[in-house]
């Protein structure tokens, strides 16, 4: 019996690791010990295109543990390609004599239990890693889908049964397909139940938890895995006491000591796989202790974990431990220590998110960590450290756009050698990634020297690109220097009931605490009232309440302001707020920005292009119900008053024409239908006429690969200013897409606009531009002219300017 147990434990260790070829050199010991940072470079050297799935999987696991999302995405894509081609074996049994012996020992037992083939299908592991990555990035619906694929691949669960062998009788988990089958099932149910919890499907999560609770487990690895899986879901559901009860169950001293001897002395030489697996269990225990009021135990446990070097290798929990320690310090009345823990946690997060290479991923990743940023900002404000608080607001709330602008590689280079610049940019990316690696701390500064040296070369070759390679927000002083004289920047930031407004000018910064209770609901109520002109007075009360909450306490003098919204405030038409006597548009000339740091990337002054205005109106969409007669008259009217301008209507207003001609005009105008897809915001689109080259649907995703160097883009269509607000406060929508593509400013709408009124407003807008007004003032004058004709804000307040005012 003991011999069988030892064999099972070591085999289980191999299954747990997912490792395909163990020769137990130092790198492999580091892998099995959870010291993933030490083996990242070996993982980078694996040829993912030609390697077997069994070799690709541990590489993906390394990237997953280190939160190297850019590398992980590519690795999982290759693994999925191999699986689709039929390479599904997870174990290379011929790689080592130990694994051969274990296989010979276990295979008859497994096949004797149920007559099944003793194989190791890697497919469930692929879906598990995909699901976990999706959860990291905040895409819980997709994580649920991957979890369901994992469970479906495993088939029906085995039924417990009593088995008699030469070693005695024991209870088996059933007709298992492989040694690691039960481990995989437990992991799959744990991932799926957690994803369902985070997606809001409480009933589904509880059903999976019941299935998981019913599973019989026989070895300590499986027991630990089951405990952690249950505890994670209970924590996500807010049932902290149940999580505590589950995780306190002991796995047995004999099993722990036996596995430590085998994995620590025989295989690991300096690290125990069982102890590494216990990190998750220990973390869940201390998390449950904290949330159930056992603060002293949680503090002692967290401090012990922070002294353990292995903890820092677990990025998914390391930042939470630091965050929770900060919360404990706050409770103990030690704000200085709390701020230190919070800032350390932020650094961990930002090292991870810097490896994401798509905007949607960055947004999701930041989203579930916003409480940390908010608590740090709140504490800094309470300590009268407003400038530092403002810096963390900027770091938290729209970094995806700034990061993308800073790493943009697809635009033309005005100076220097294009090929050399691209090579330098690639070197900079590689050097930055190496510098973020935990192993780089021991390289004597060589990696960081390479980063500096590469940037110096890039500055010489293409100075206009050098400032865009550094992924960082601006300091308060830099932001102040970029605010035009006489303009005030107001940046909002809120969470739960707390709301802050940072008021920044060229010479000063102050922060004002505001009432944030039920703010989202009140904004939604205001929008509903605005879009119902049949009840002309319904908007007045919410307009005045929101003004009293958001603007009046700031005591802003009439003049020019730039608003940086947060959360639901992205959907709020500030120009329609009312102090009881006047609308804001009557006192202020306003523009918006997604983040104050975007000021760095807005080119000042009008741009010079061969053409003045290119307008697309009433494109032929193949259905008369979509015709917009006033849109056609709108573009023909505004083009008629401008030299070097052109209007394309009906079948001429194609996506192909937009792609072909948009680069030759200073201003672009699109009067058509817009589609906002809140579930897939990158598919939000402007609808143009289709032809043989393009389908006519100009999506946000397509804009990210285009170069539109226009001074102004006006989207005279329905809901073009809307975007999906993720938890990280990045708004994925058409406005963001055009800003990223290079447009200096975008005028877009917040709701489905009236065709006739919009045509009139646009006529006023371009008339003011022709008279010499800047973009912001031109929009204000147009809205004031419409206000005189149509007092209800529905007809004029939907449009707002984002970007440069000049």
CATH topology agreement for domains 314-385 and 476-599: no
The answer to whether residue 125 scores a pLDDT higher than 80 is yes
According to the model, what pLDDT value does residue 250 have?
56
CB 268 within 8 A of CB 291: no
Q: What is the DSSP string of 670-723?
A: EES-EE--SSSGGG-EEE-B--SS--SEEEHHHHTT-----SEEEE-STTTT-E
What pLDDT digit, counting tens, does each position of 311-331 carry? Answer: 887 777 899 999 999 999 999
- C-alpha closest to that of 678 among 722, 714, 709: 722
Confidence at 747, pLDDT banded by 50, 70, 90: very high
Three-state SS sequence of 577-600: CECCCCEHHHCEEEEECCCHHHHH
Q: Decide: helix, strand or coil at residue 250.
A: coil
CB 616 within 8 A of CB 651: no
Half-sphere exposure at residue 590, Cβ-oriented, CA atoms within 13 angstroms: 25
Q: What is the DSSP string of 617-676?
A: EEE--S-GGG--HHHHHHHHHHHHTSTTEEEEEETT-BHHHHHHHGGGEEEEEEES-EE-
Q: In terms of pLDDT, which residue wins out, 293 or 422?
A: 293
Q: What is the DSSP string of 171-189?
A: EE--S-SSTTHHHHHHHHH
What pLDDT digit, counting tens, does each position of 215-273 carry? Answer: 777 666 677 778 878 888 898 898 999 999 988 875 444 344 434 433 333 333 334 44
Confidence at 456, pLDDT banded by 50, 70, 90: low
Q: Distance between CA atoms of 498 and 30, rounded to whole angstroms?
A: 45
The answer to whether residue 297 scores a pLDDT higher than 70 is yes
Instruction: Write out the CATH class of domain 605-803.
Output: alpha beta
Q: What percent of the chain has pLDDT over 90?
A: 38
Strand pairing category for 712-715 and 487-495: unpaired
CATH architecture, domain defined by 314-385: Up-down Bundle (1.20)
Report the mean per-residue pLDDT for the chain.
77
Tokens of 330: 């706050």
Mean pLDDT of 656-660: 93
CATH no. for 2-282: 1.25.40
Q: Distance between CA atoms of 227 and 456, rounded to whole angstroms?
A: 52
User: Lowest mean pLDDT: which of 62-76, 207-221, 498-512?
Assistant: 207-221
What pLDDT digit, counting tens, does each position of 512-552 carry? Answer: 999 888 898 999 999 999 988 889 889 999 999 999 999 99
According to the model, what pLDDT value does residue 256 have?
45
The answer to whether residue 174 scores a pLDDT higher than 50 is no
Instruction: Write out the CATH class of domain 476-599.
Output: alpha beta
User: Lowest mean pLDDT: which of 69-78, 452-461, 771-780?
Assistant: 452-461
Q: The pTM is what?
A: 0.76
Sign of CA dihedral 590, 591, 592, 593: negative
According to the model, what pLDDT value does residue 771 have?
92
Q: Distance between CA atoms of 733 and 58, rounded to whole angstroms?
A: 37
CB 256 within 8 A of CB 220: yes
Q: Distance between CA atoms of 119 and 206, rounded to whole angstroms?
A: 31
Sketch the domain layout of the chain as residue ranges: 2-282, 314-385, 408-469, 476-599, 605-803
């Amino acid at each position: 019996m003991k011999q069988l147990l030892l064999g099972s434990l070591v085999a289980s260790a191999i299954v747990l690791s997912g490792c395909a070829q163990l020769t137990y050199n130092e790198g492999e010991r580091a892998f099995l010990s959870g010291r993933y940072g030490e083996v990242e470079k070996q993982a980078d050297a694996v040829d993912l295109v030609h390697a077997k799935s069994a070799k690709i999987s541990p590489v993906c696991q390394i990237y997953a543990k280190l939160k190297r999302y850019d590398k992980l995405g590519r690795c999982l894509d290759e693994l999925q390609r191999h699986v689709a081609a039929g390479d599904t074996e997870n174990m290379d049994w011929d790689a080592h004599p130990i694994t051969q012996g274990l296989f010979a020992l276990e295979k008859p037992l497994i096949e004797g239990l149920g007559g099944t083939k003793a194989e190791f299908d890697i497919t469930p592991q692929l879906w598990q890693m995909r699901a976990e990555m999706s959860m990291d990035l905040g895409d819980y619906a997709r994580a649920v889908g991957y979890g369901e694929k994992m469970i479906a691949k495993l088939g029906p669960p085995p039924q417990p049964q009593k088995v008699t062998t030469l070693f005695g009788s024991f209870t088996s988990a059933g007709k298992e397909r492989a040694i690691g089958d039960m481990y995989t099932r437990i992991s799959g149910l744990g991932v799926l139940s957690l994803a369902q919890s985070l997606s809001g499907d409480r009933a589904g999560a509880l059903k999976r938890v019941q299935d998981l609770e019913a599973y019989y487990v026989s070895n300590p690895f499986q027991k630990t895995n089951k405990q952690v899986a249950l505890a994670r879901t209970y924590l996500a559901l807010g049932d902290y006491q149940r999580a505590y009860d589950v995780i306190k169950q002991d796995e047995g001293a004999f099993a722990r000591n036996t596995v430590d001897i085998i994995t620590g002395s025989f295989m690991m030489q300096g690290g125990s796989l069982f102890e590494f697996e216990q990190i998750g269990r220990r973390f869940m225990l201390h998390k449950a202790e904290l949330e159930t009021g056992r603060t002293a135990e949680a503090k002692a446990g967290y401090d012990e974990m922070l002294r353990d070097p292995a903890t820092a290798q677990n990025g998914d929990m390391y930042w939470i431990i630091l965050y929770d320690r900060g919360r404990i310090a706050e409770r103990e009345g030690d704000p200085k220590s709390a701020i230190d823990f919070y800032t350390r946690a932020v650094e961990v997060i930002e090292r991870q998110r810097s490896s994401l290479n798509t905007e949607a991923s960055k947004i999701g990743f930041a989203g579930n960590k916003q409480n940390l940023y908010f608590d740090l900002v709140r504490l800094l404000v309470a300590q009268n450290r407003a400038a530092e608080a403002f810096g963390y607001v900027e770091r938290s709330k729209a970094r995806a756009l700034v990061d993308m602008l800073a790493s943009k590689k697809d635009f033309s280079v005005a100076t220097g050698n294009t090929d050399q610049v691209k090579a330098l940019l690639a070197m900079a990316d590689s050097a930055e990634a190496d510098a973020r690696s935990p192993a780089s701390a021991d390289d004597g500064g060589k990696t960081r020297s390479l980063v500096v040296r590469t940037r110096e070369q890039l500055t010489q070759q293409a100075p206009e690109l050098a400032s865009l390679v550094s992924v960082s927000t601006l300091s308060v002083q830099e932001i102040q220097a970029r605010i035009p004289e006489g303009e005030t920047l107001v940046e909002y930031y809120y969470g739960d009931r707390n709301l802050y407004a940072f008021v920044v000018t060229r010479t000063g910064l102050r922060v004002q605490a505001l009432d944030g209770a039920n703010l989202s609901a009140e904004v939604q109520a205001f929008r509903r009232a605005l879009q119902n002109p049949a009840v002309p007075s319904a908007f007045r009360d919410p307009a005045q309440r929101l003004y009293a909450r958001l603007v009046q306490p700031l005591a802003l003098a009439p003049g020019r302001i730039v608003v940086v919204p947060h959360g639901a405030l992205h959907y709020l038409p500030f120009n329609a707020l009312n102090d009881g006597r006047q609308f804001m548009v009557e006192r202020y000339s306003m523009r918006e920005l997604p983040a104050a740091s975007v000021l760095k990337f807005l080119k000042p002054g009008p741009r010079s292009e061969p053409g003045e205005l290119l307008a697309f109106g009433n494109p032929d969409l193949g259905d008369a119900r979509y015709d917009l007669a006033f849109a056609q008259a709108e573009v023909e009217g505004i083009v008629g008053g401008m030299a070097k301008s052109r209007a394309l209507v009906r079948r001429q207003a194609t996506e192909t024409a937009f792609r072909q001609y948009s680069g030759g005009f200073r201003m672009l105008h699109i009067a058509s239908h817009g589609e906002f897809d809140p579930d897939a915001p990158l598919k939000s689109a402007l609808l143009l006429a289709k032809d043989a080259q393009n389908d006519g649907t100009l999506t946000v995703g397509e804009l990210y690969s285009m170069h539109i160097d226009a001074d102004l883009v006006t989207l005279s269509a329905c809901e073009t200013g809307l975007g999906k607000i993720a938890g990280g406060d990045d708004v994925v929508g058409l406005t963001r897409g055009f800003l990223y593509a290079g447009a200096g400013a975008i005028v877009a709408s917040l709701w489905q606009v009236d065709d006739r009124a919009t045509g009139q407003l646009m006529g006023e807008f371009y008339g003011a531009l022709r008279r010499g007004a800047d973009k912001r003032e031109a929009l204000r004058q147009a809205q004031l002219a419409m206000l005189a004709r149509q007092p209800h804000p529905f007809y004029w307040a939907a449009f707002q300017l984002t970007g440069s005012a000049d």
